[in-house]
Amino acid sequence: MIAYLVRRMLYAIPILVGVNLLTFSLFFVVNTPDDMARMQLGIKRVTVDAIRQWEHQKGYDKPLFYNRAEDGIGRITNTIFWQKSASMFWLDFGYSDDGRDISREIRTRMWPSLAIALPTFLVGLIFYISFALVMTLFRATKLDQAGVALCVVLMSVSSLFYIIGGQFVISKLWHLVPISGYAGGLNSFRFVVLPVVIGVISGIGSSSRWYRTIFLEEMGKDYVRTARAKGLSEIAVLFIHVLKNAMIPILTGVVVVIPLLFMGSLLTESFFGIPGLGSYTIDAINAQDFAIVRAMVFLGSLLYIAGLMLTDISYTVVDPRVRLS
């Protein structure tokens, strides 16, 4: 198990190097720091001095990969790649355009993100699976058909409409909870409810339908027939045998997103004014703060790879046949 995990971690390194090189070439080779400076300072009426000064301030006035002017190790380390891109491996994300430490921002902002994303994830998971189980129980009846039709309609609605509509009805018409905002501690409950409810509703369509497909596939297997033959009720078959056996395909899709919950959701957070990582990213995109976007891309893939490893571990927990070696 330990050996397997170490091997997986080693395997993750080339992928992260790939992500790092990709973002580096996207942000520094496709457009030179010169172009970015022009963009930030205004396209026209910008002097060469101003560009040089901007680059110096940001530390972009170095060679990309190899610095001939330096000696020894400095030839590698005193470059844009080393200081801006490779440094992300030791989680040093540098500074944003307004001079703040990005790592620090990430550490404070991930908690509000988690406060929204984790309840949405848990409530959603329970709700979708229950809904899918009910549809499977009543399969090939009018109820099942209606459920599937509802799912297709719900998944055809853009998530923007769920948020705008939900805010309008629940907060503006009924005045149940504040439209947006966030507060720490127990006070946060009022602010968390609406985003969580809307987040759960907007996922019903695609998720429930997907779980229903998984359950139906399991229903066709031999062990279900055996279970029925020994006289188990349909409910017992479904909730005990099918649910357990469907865990593997469910876990494949579910566990991988758990680490990404820290990143929050771009849309939800910006609509509800949650000071999390999602709204941080969206603000950075609008302000064209490339350092933050670069950091988020790297962090995102780091968490995704962690999610893949978690998925493998979770298999061993639910399925004794799976051994990691």
Q: Which stretch binds another protein (CB under 8 A): 115-123, 127-135, 236-244, 295-303?
A: 295-303
What one-letter code names the amino acid at 235?
I
> Closest separation between CB of residue 90 and another protein, Å?
19
Residues 249-288 that bind another protein (CB under 8 A): 260, 263, 266-267, 270, 281-282, 285-286, 288
For residues 155 and 223, give the distance between their C-alpha atoms in angstroms, rounded to a whole number: 33
Q: Which stretch binds another protein (CB under 8 A): 58-66, 116-124, 167-175, 185-193?
A: 167-175
Give the contacts of 299 (CB within 8 A, at least 6 positions apart): 93, 106, 263
Does the protein bind another protein through residue 132 (CB under 8 A)? no
Does the protein bind another protein through residue 152 (CB under 8 A)? yes
125-156 exposure pattern, b = at least 16 Cβ within 10 A, e = fewer: bebbbebbbbbbbebeeeebeebbebbeebbe
For residues 320 and 323, give the distance between their C-alpha atoms in angstroms, rounded to a whole number: 7
Nearer to another protein among residue 207 and residue 301 (C-beta): 301
Closest CA to 258 of 125, 118, 127, 124: 118
Does the protein bind another protein through residue 23 (CB under 8 A)? yes
> Is 315 within 8 Å of 322 (Cβ atoms)?
yes
Does the protein bind another protein through residue 211 (CB under 8 A)? no
> Closest separation between CB of residue 70 and another protein, Å?
28
Does the protein bind another protein through residue 36 (CB under 8 A)? yes
Residue 5: count of CB within 10 angstroms of its CB: 13
Q: Where does this chain bind another protein (CB under 8 A)?
A: 14-15, 18-19, 22-23, 26-27, 30-31, 35-36, 38-39, 43, 152-153, 155-161, 164, 167-168, 172, 260, 263, 266-267, 270, 281-282, 285-286, 288, 290, 293-294, 296-297, 300-301, 304-305
